[in-house]
Amino acid sequence: MTICRTRLLNFLQAELALSPAAIALALRQVGADLHLLPIVLWQYGLVNLLELEQLWDWLQAAEPTPTLTLVQSRPDRVLPQTPTPALPTAA
């Protein structure tokens, strides 16, 4: 989870109305594994299923979209291109 911790904590307090004590309890349980925070909040009854879904939606929207970068290790060597098979057409 690469979300800014401060933004996440602000969301929990402002949008889900969690108290600082509730957030601190959950943070103690997850330690460095911040990605477990939503489940821990739910397991301890600090958020209900609707709030858990809101949290996941927020995390998904806040998380940058991963991109795949292909790097050719030897620029002097051209990788072979495989032809894409044609899809059958419906009659």
Q: What is the extent of the structural domain holding 24?
A: 5-62
pLDDT at 13: 95
- What distance in Å separates the CA atoms of residue 66 and residue 18, rounded to the nearest whole number? 30
**pLDDT, tens digit, for every residue of 11-57?**
999 999 999 999 999 999 998 888 889 999 999 999 999 999 999 99
Burial 26-59 (b: 16+ CB within 10 A, else e): bbeeeeeeeeebbebbbeeebbeeebbebbeebb
Tokens of 72: 């050719």
Q: Is residue 68 part of a domain?
A: no
Determine the Cα–Cα distance for residues 43 and 54; give it in Å rounded to an integer: 16
**9 in any annotated domain:** yes
The whole-number pLDDT of residue 35 equals 83
pLDDT at 84 over 80: no
Residue 77 lies in a domain: no
Amino acid at 42: W
Total domains in the fold of the chain:
1
